[in-house]
Amino acid sequence: MSIKVKNAAEIALMREAGRLLAKVHQDLSHELKEGMTTKEVDRIAEEMIRDLHCVPNFLHYQGYPASVCVSINDEVVHGIPNESRVLTNGDIVSLDMGLIYEGYHSDAARTHGIGEISKEAQLLIERTRESFFQGIQFARAGRHLNDISGAIGDYAESFGYGVVYDLVGHGIGSHLHEEPEIPNFRQRRRGPRLKEGMTLAIEPMINAGCPDVYWMEDGWTVLTDDGSLSAHYENTILITKGDPEILTLTEEEKISM
């Protein structure tokens, strides 16, 4: 396995790619409302990305037809936006997207509630987000990759949630998906040793019920096998000598931490 270590110039570009994506996520979250179609969400996201003179890296990636994955309730990831799917009160919606700035990629996901959501849904969103932060306590030079994976999975499973096994995080840089794959569950092997300058997309995908998923006939949309809710939280991070640098954290999130 060859994990690319970025140099100072590459890191600077990735920082900017991350900062711009964080802005899109924050601004798009303010646009979400009951009655919107998922196609409208996608249109707004693409406009925001292009207004920043960036390119939506999901659009046409391996044939994906949109700029943002819009996944509702029991849809885990890769929901395809369309004109007939409407956001309704009580839904939870995961937005997964990225952009390219000067040849370098960023990737991040957030799950939001629409209107008044259930306590179960709110806790799932909060705990999925926290599982990311539990994991990145171990995202530092000298630790092993699967220290991150184990911490994410242990935290989520402590609430009886199902950690999705079939989908994982990944390295990121001049390509959207680079080595290594990053599971969200504990494994027996330790995985590669982390080095300063590695950039990773860490993305817990957590189901309220069982961990099993299935793919719809569209070849993209992944749903929970038991129909339970699912949440997704992702950031692009940089490994440093100390604490990791989260490149896609929004300004609102920074203030609330």
For residue 256, the model assigns a pLDDT of 86
* Domain CATH for 249: 3.90.230.10
Query: Chunked in runs of 10, what are the mean pLDDT values of the chain (257 residues)?
Result: 93 98 98 98 98 98 98 98 97 98 98 98 98 98 97 98 98 98 94 97 98 98 98 98 97 91
Backbone angles phi, psi at 119, to 5 degrees: -60, -40
In the numeric block, which tokens belong to residue 142?
Answer: 């000298």
- Look at the alpha carbons of 80, 82, 85, 89 in this order and tell me if their dihedral is positive or negative: positive
Tell whether 208 is covered by a domain. Answer: yes
Question: How many domains does one find in the chain?
Answer: 1
Tell whether 16 is covered by a domain. Answer: yes
**Whether the Cβ atoms of residue 234 and residue 71 lie closer than 8 Å to each other:** no
Domain that holds residue 109: 8-256
**Whether the Cβ atoms of residue 135 and residue 163 lie closer than 8 Å to each other:** no
Tell whether 133 is covered by a domain. Answer: yes
For residue 257, the model assigns a pLDDT of 80
Angle at 19 between CA 17 and CA 21, to 5 degrees: 70
For residue 223, the model assigns a pLDDT of 98
Tell whether 117 is covered by a domain. Answer: yes
| Amino acid at residue number 240 | T
For residue 2, the model assigns a pLDDT of 86
Tell whether 137 is covered by a domain. Answer: yes
- Look at the alpha carbons of 174, 72, 70, 235 in this order and tell me if their dihedral is positive or negative: negative
Please state, in angstroms and rounded to a whole number, the distance separating the CA atoms of residues 180 and 165.
Answer: 16
Tell whether 124 is covered by a domain. Answer: yes
- Give the bridge partners for 113, in sequence order: 92
pTM of the model as a whole: 0.97
Tell whether 204 is covered by a domain. Answer: yes
Q: Which residues contact 169 (CB under 8 A, 6 or more apart)?
A: 181, 182, 183, 184, 200, 201, 202, 203, 234
Tell whether 2 is covered by a domain. Answer: no
For residue 75, the model assigns a pLDDT of 98
